[in-house]
Amino acid sequence: MIFILVFITSLLVAALYTYFRVREINRQIRPDGSFAEVGGARLHYHYYPADRRDPDAPVLVFLHGASGNAYDARLAFLNSLKNKHDLLFVDRPGLGFSTGQSGVHDLPEGQAKVLSLLLEELEIDNAIVVGHSLAGSVTAALALCAPERVRGLVFLAPVSHAWPGGVNWYYNVASWPALGAIFCWTLTLPIGQGQIEKALTNVFLPDGAPENYVRETKVLLLFRPASFRANARQIAYLKQAVIRQSKRYAEIMQPTLIVTGTHDTVVWPSIHCEGLLRDLPNAELLMLDLAGHMPQHTHTDTVVEAIEKLVKRVQDPNAGATESRAVERPLNKV
């Protein structure tokens, strides 16, 4: 009996801590972009039109990976690409300052549909979509559901195909209907915010994270219960989603760039990048030696240069034609 009372009291204390900490996070970190109500979601985004806008030039649309938000891509690419191209950075449904609906926007297909509505709302009918990690699956889904708007694709350290095993247990627990809510309101914020540095070390290996990364990318937004649960559902349901979706990859005819690093220990290049190179008819691979899972931050200049070449391919299919689709050396087996 005493144990039960102590357990319940501990949960209540943790829930109260979470409640007041979430209020503090929401007070300290405020949205500074624009919002659009589309497809049952409220999407937060930053749009930067180029000073000298070419109406025929594609808009670069950046989609962040799991456990993140649009500030990640903005930190990586804004300084290098601002005023060269129109840029759109979007918080995917449920993450950052965007909201979504459970059961509607958890899967890549559901996110792609609502993102296509955002492109329509912003009158973007010529986009190159740049998706990192989990958003690789959303990038592919967007290419399939809106080929008339999506003219080119960039996959950065992407998730695109089925992999051996599952996902970390806490994502499964957090995605459960009732227990997941209790878990997220009691444990994820107190424990998660203390694991940030360790998590960043793992995801950036073999390099280090930028010194200002936590502040500039507003990492703490993830640990709010609603955001963590949305993120968990997207991760927990992803494998079955890409099993279904990958059967359609041969339909993706848009010019495509795949970027991966030889030392990515988060996503297996030998499964996802090799799979995309095999399945997509018009894909090229950029292999970055000694790069990990965050090439947009650690090898920014090289990635930007490759994106610029893809823009030229999209604008003129005869420009910068692929020298070879072959991989110069075997993909690493992580």
pLDDT above 70 for 1: yes
How many alpha carbons lie under 13 Å from residue 92 in its C-beta half-sphere?
37
pLDDT in tens, 35-93: 999 999 999 999 999 987 777 889 999 999 999 999 999 999 999 999 999 999 999 99
- 29 DSSP assignment: S
Q: How many domains does the chain have?
A: 1
How many alpha carbons lie under 13 Å from residue 155 in its C-beta half-sphere?
36
Residue 267 DSSP SS3: coil
pLDDT in tens, 91-149: 999 999 999 999 999 999 999 999 999 999 999 999 999 999 999 999 999 999 999 99
The answer as to whether 13 is a domain residue is no
Residue 68 DSSP SS3: coil
The answer as to whether 1 is a domain residue is no
Indicate which CATH number applies to the domain containing 303.
3.40.50.1820
Q: How confident is the model at residue 319 (pLDDT cuts 50, 70, 90)?
A: low
What average pLDDT does the segment 188-215 reach? Answer: 94
- Tell me if 271 sits within 8 A of 252, measured CB to CB: no
**What is the percent of the chain with per-residue pLDDT over 90, rounded to a whole number?**
87
Per-residue pLDDT at 122: 97
Q: How confident is the model at residue 278 (pLDDT cuts 50, 70, 90)?
A: very high
What average pLDDT does the segment 148-174 reach? Answer: 97
- Tell me if 128 sits within 8 A of 152, measured CB to CB: yes
Instruction: Give every strand in the sheet of 34-38, ordered side by side.
Output: 34-38, 41-48, 87-90, 59-63, 127-132, 150-156, 256-261, 283-288
pLDDT above 50 for 332: no
pLDDT in tens, 6-34: 777 788 989 999 999 999 999 999 999 99
The answer as to whether 8 is a domain residue is no
Per-residue pLDDT at 317: 78
The answer as to whether 328 is a domain residue is no
| Average model confidence (pLDDT) across the chain | 93
How many alpha carbons lie under 13 Å from residue 221 in its C-beta half-sphere?
28
Per-residue pLDDT at 8: 79
- 82 DSSP assignment: B
The answer as to whether 23 is a domain residue is no
The answer as to whether 18 is a domain residue is no
The answer as to whether 10 is a domain residue is no
The parent domain of residue 57 ranges over 33-315
The answer as to whether 54 is a domain residue is yes
